[in-house]
Chains A and B, each alone.
Chain A
């Protein structure tokens, strides 16, 4: 079946540090890949997505590239801010006829200190 494995957290960084959160997946066919973010006290929000191999999703300074050869979708940001502190979830969907149900990783808690 489909699965997503995320880098274990929590991750603690200083402001302006470089961020990488690793994500690898297992799926048949060609899934779409997503990063969702959950800020404290808020619901899940889509951060970025990529729908085919070699696509790069980007938003708010975050980037992730769909690497089919390594089945990965690592999240990166060049300079994190305190406001980036949140839980980040990697997810995939197969776009099957029964709907694009999402399969999530376990989440990575990021704390950015001033």
Chain B
């Protein structure tokens, strides 16, 4: 079956531009996560959705970062006025359940590599 897909796979932006990154989770998955992975580092949590509700945005690094999942499926991560330090791979993951138990395995997309010049 189809896994998590993300688009675009690569994005180059000039400093100050706005970007929008899309995530299509596995159909029916309740939970959706965004992570940021800097070069040579492990992924770091950005935000979490349960269906359409954004329950945790504590990892968003600044108010330039905004995420939404209006219909509880596709999600968009938007970064306004991009800065060089935003350059990273942005990973989306989905899981069937909400917390704990056997349904909390997260399935990751291939990521979007953002380069800000």
Interface residues of A (CB under 8 A from B): 4, 32, 36, 42-46, 49, 51, 89, 91, 93, 95-107
Mostly, the A contact residues are strand
Contact present for B50 and A99 (CB under 8 Å): yes
Task: Indicate whether A46 sits within 8 Å of B56 (C-beta atoms), given known contacts A95-B100, A99-B48, A102-B45.
Answer: no
Q: Which of B60-68, B71-79, B101-109 contacts A (4 or more CB under 8 A)?
A: B101-109
6 pairs, CB–CB < 8 Å, chain A vs chain B:
A43-B4, A49-B105, A99-B99, A103-B45, A104-B44, A105-B42
The interface residues of chain A lying within 8 Å CB-to-CB of B98 are 99
Contact present for B91 and A44 (CB under 8 Å): yes
Task: Indicate whether A43 sits within 8 Å of B42 (C-beta atoms), given known contacts A49-B105, A99-B50.
Answer: no
Q: When chains A and B are docked, how far (Å) is the Cα of A98 from the Cα of B102?
A: 16
Nearest chain A CB to B55 CB, angstrom units: 5
Q: When chains A and B are docked, how far (Å) is the Cα of A10 from the Cα of B38?
A: 17
**Looking across the interface, which residue of chain B has its beta carbon closest to that of A99?**
B48
The interface residues of chain A lying within 8 Å CB-to-CB of B56 are 98-99, 101
Task: Indicate whether A89 sits within 8 Å of B42 (C-beta atoms), given known contacts A32-B100, A46-B106, A49-B105.
Answer: yes
Contact present for B105 and A46 (CB under 8 Å): yes
Contact present for A100 and B109 (CB under 8 Å): no
Contact present for B106 and A104 (CB under 8 Å): no
B108 CB contact (under 8 Å) in A4, A43, A98: A43
Q: When chains A and B are docked, how far (Å) is the Cα of A44 from the Cα of B56?
A: 22
B42 CB contact (under 8 Å) in A46, A99, A101, A104: A104
The interface residues of chain A lying within 8 Å CB-to-CB of B42 are 4, 89, 91, 104-107
**Looking across the interface, which residue of chain A has its beta carbon closest to that of B104?**
A100
Task: Indicate whether A96 sits within 8 Å of B99 (C-beta atoms), given known contacts A46-B105, A101-B56.
Answer: yes
Task: Indicate whether A95 sits within 8 Å of B99 (C-beta atoms), given known contacts A43-B91, A49-B105, A101-B56.
Answer: yes
- Nearest first, the 7 closest Cβ-Cβ pairs linking A and B are A95-B100, A104-B42, A100-B104, A98-B56, A99-B48, A44-B108, A43-B110
